[in-house]
Amino acid sequence: MADTEAFIVSLVQMRPGQKGKIVEINGGYGLTQKLDTLGIGAGKEITKVSGQLMRGPVLLQHNNTQAAVGFGMASRIIVEVHRKDKK
Amino acid sequence: MGNPNVGKSVVFNRVTGTSVIASNYPGTTVEFTKGSIKLGDRRVEVIDVPGTYTLEPTCKAEQIAVEMLNEHADGDVVINVVESTNLERSLNLTLQLLKRKIPAVVALNFWDETKHKGILIDDKKLEQILGVPCVPICAVTGEGVKQLVERVKEAKLSEYDYEDEERWHEVGKIVEKVQNITHRHHTWLERLGDASVRPLTGIPMAAMVMFLAFKVIRFIGEGLIGYVSEPLFEKLWMPVVMKLSAVMGSGGFLHNLVIGQLIDGEIDFGQSFGLLTTGLFVPIGAVLPYVFAFYVVLSLLEDLGFIPRLAVMVDTLMHKLGLHGFAIVPMLLGLGCNVPGALATRVLETRREKFIAATLLSIAVPCAALQAMIVGLVGEHGLGYLAIIYGTLLAVWVLLGVIFNKTVKGESPEIFIEIPPYRIPYMRSLLKKIWIRIKWFLKEAVPFVLLGVLIVNLLYTFGIIQFIGKITAPVVTRVLGLPQEAVGALIVGFLRKDVAVGMLIPLGLTIKQLVIASVVLAMYFPCIATFTTLVKELGVVDMLKSAGVMIVSSLIVGGLLNLVLP
């Protein structure tokens, strides 16, 4: 598309309110498994609800499920987002 | 069985008529409860288990659920409670359960909420696909629960088959067939929910809620003491025990046991220390009002769904203590009573986390009973002294946590919790929960307080307290600056801390000594009920380590206060 461009970022780098699609979970079996129990995994649409100051947990939403994940985990969740091309 | 926070306990309460505590956060239930119902002319046992997202457990609470399932694999029925507003995630567990080939019934809970949220679910079709009864219910109001019970008889094995790797895919296919989502606007509760997890709005909101919570607790607690419990004891109970005292000859061993010492010929509920005077006044007159106030506020916050959001807000701080945000739950429960607090450490995953949380809880989190007595005794000398006590405990909590984080080996994983939506508490279940907790307090506390008062009297009569006082004098008087007799309070504090504080009253301590004694009593050892729970939860080895930390840190802190305070 002309006015939007796909970016690959981690959940940490997303802006609050931004939507995106998970590309991959860059973590071990434990993390993948934990997220899987909530139905969150590669290919799923998610919305970042908020992030906390000082490397605090990140809140994400998938369907009607909201979950808080630690900063480290969030940085290993890789998401594709579309945003207006500004830079 | 079902996911965490889908309302299994509410369904259980409805179905069996028994009472277990239910709240709006994942991990309320950490052990199983049994109850029973009449099905036709048979009595059937029903078991409420902790929630789990999967049959491969990740923490002790989930493990309990899965073990229950394994133990009851033959001839039993699983009632799988699912969250209709979150069908996809719930069905993941449902499919795992069906594959175990256990007869099942699916209860579609929160049916009422789906309507507000614009979700349409075809329960008939779902039933067709899964091949087991699916019953829409609303557990808090009880709608549909009767049908659920009736259809338990129809529970059967599901024919549904799939490959494990394809589970989410299968769930997706089912959801697509039975669910239809229409567009809708955000409700104000959702806006509030979002605002309370953004740092800019969330931190002030959390601070305000906590501040208000303390104000309300003090207001209700003090009000009840001043206008209800004290007048009741002074006006109604006093004449009765005075008469009894006269009948018993106003003195002697038995009189002192039942009525206690008369002070200037009068009974003093705080100081007489008889079973029918101080023994009843401490738990019912002084402590119960605060316990009630605390549980009203806590239960309300729980049912709203505030607790997991608070966990998110404090997560960064808790990481400094070697814990994560959800460890705030055992601490909050501990402010009421350390026993449920200790049980709640089960939601934590690693041994390290459990050790740190349990130790911090029993050292620096005073229970409502202890707090009520401290507030009553120290509060009259001014709020500043209370601030010293609470400030010291908070500082100890943080400092010890930081030290643990640096020294205790093992892992502390990051926070990972589901945040439930805010819900308007349903008045009847809220009141029921408060009542369960009050009943529990009365049942647990009153006998122990009476036993404590009895032991105090016996120890004094036989001179044991005076004897131990002499032996421990170097520590108690030199290090802590307390009179020898205060050691009696430390002995009884093992049984009940509120009675222990009560024992300080007749000693005529200075305010400095009161502050030190209060802090040391809070820290030095948990009461026996908490102690036995912790031994079970932590194991003997970790509990011994924990106890060592308690004794050493209370002596250090008490000694420091003795040096620093004017």
Identity of the residue in B119, B199, B418 whose CB atom sits nearest the CB atom of A52: B199
Q: Can you tell me the mean pLDDT for A19-23?
A: 93
pLDDT band at A87 (very low <50, low <70, confident <90, very high): very low
Q: Can you tell me the mean pLDDT for B509-514?
A: 94
B171 shares contact with chain A (CB less than 8 Å): yes
Look at residue A1 and tell me whether its pLDDT is greater than 50. Answer: no
pLDDT of B188 reads 83
Q: What is the rounded CA–CA span in Å between residue B286 and residue B557? A: 27
Q: What is the largest CA-CA distance in chain A?
A: 39
Work out the number of other CB atoms within 10 angstroms of the CB of residue B115.
12
Look at residue B18 and tell me whether its pLDDT is greater than 90. Answer: no
Judged by CB atoms closer than 8 Å, whether chains meet at B54 and A37 is answered as yes
Contact A49, B393 (CB under 8 A): no
For residue B402 the two structure tokens come to 């930081």
Enumerate the residues of chain A whose CB falls inside 8 A of the CB of residue B418.
Answer: 38, 65-67
Contact A65, A38 (CB under 8 A): yes
Judged by CB atoms closer than 8 Å, whether chains meet at B171 and A39 is answered as yes
Residue of B nearest to A55 (CA): B316
Which residues in chain B (294-323) have CB-CB distances under 8 A to chain A? 308, 311-313, 315-316
Contact B190, B118 (CB under 8 A): no
What spatial distance separates the first Cα and last Cα of chain B, rounded to whole Å?
58
DSSP code, position B234: I
Q: Give the pLDDT confidence of B154-187 residue by residue, as tens digits.
A: 888 888 888 877 888 888 889 888 988 876 667 7
DSSP code, position B143: B
Give the pTM. 0.89
Quick one: chain A helix, strand, coil %, rounded to 5? 20, 45, 35
Between helix B167-178 and helix B123-130 the angle, nearest 10°, is 140
B258 shares contact with chain A (CB less than 8 Å): no
Q: Which of B216-220, B489-493, B553-557 has the lowest mean pLDDT?
A: B489-493
Identity of the residue in B316, B413, B420 whose CB atom sits nearest the CB atom of A52: B316
Contact B196, B205 (CB under 8 A): yes
Beta bridge partners of A80: A8, A21
